[in-house]
């Protein structure tokens, strides 16, 4: 299996622009998570989905952030408009619950820089 795939790996954009991050979870996994990692705040859960349905979005910082999961193999995290404080590494993770494993498999991350 290729693991969790994220694109792009690096994104540099200007303040005010729309940013879309993409994630392909591991095939067959039923949970998908979006995290943000910064030096100041560490690794934070933004939102997670179960069977494509958003379960908990309490970690989404502001209305500028939105996430969708139109099908089991694709999810997006959108920031509109972007701000310099959104600069971070964004990770997508997936897991399969019910097999006795609680492991979340993380992708390589998207490093976002907003200037």
Q: Per rule CB under 8 A, is residue 12 in the interface with other proteins? A: no
Q: Judged by CB, which is closer to other proteins: 83, or 103?
A: 103
DSSP 8-state assignment for residue 25: P
Q: Which of 34, 55, 53, 57 is nearest to 104 (CA)?
A: 34
Among 75, 82, 94, 95, binds other proteins (CB under 8 A): 95
44 binds other proteins, rule: CB under 8 A: yes
Minimum CB separation from other proteins for residue 43, in Å? 4
**Cβ neighbours of 17 (radius 10 Å):** 13
Which of 56, 80, 84, 115 forms a contact with other proteins (CB under 8 A)? 56
Q: Which stretch binds other proteins (CB under 8 A): 16-24, 66-74, 77-85, 90-98?
A: 90-98
What is the three-state SS of 42-104?
EEEEEEEEECCEEEECCCCCCCCEEEEEEECCEEEEEECCCCHHHCEEEEEEEECCCCCCCCC
Nearer to other proteins, 4 or 21 (CB): 4
Residues near other proteins, by CB under 8 A: 4, 31, 33, 42-45, 48, 55-56, 91, 93, 95, 97, 102-109
């Amino acid at each position: 299996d290729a693991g969790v795939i994220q694109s792009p790996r690096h994104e540099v954009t200007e303040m005010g622009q729309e940013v879309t991050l993409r994630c392909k979870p591991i095939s067959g996994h039923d949970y998908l998570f979006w995290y943000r990692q910064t030096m100041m705040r560490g690794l934070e859960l933004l939102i997670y989905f179960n069977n494509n349905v958003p379960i908990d979005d309490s970690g989404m910082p502001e209305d500028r952030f939105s996430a969708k999961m139109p099908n089991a193999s694709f999810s997006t995290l959108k920031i509109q408009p972007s701000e310099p404080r959104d600069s971070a590494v964004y990770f997508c993770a997936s897991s399969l619950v019910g097999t006795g494993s609680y492991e979340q498999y993380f992708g390589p991350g998207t490093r976002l820089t907003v200037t």
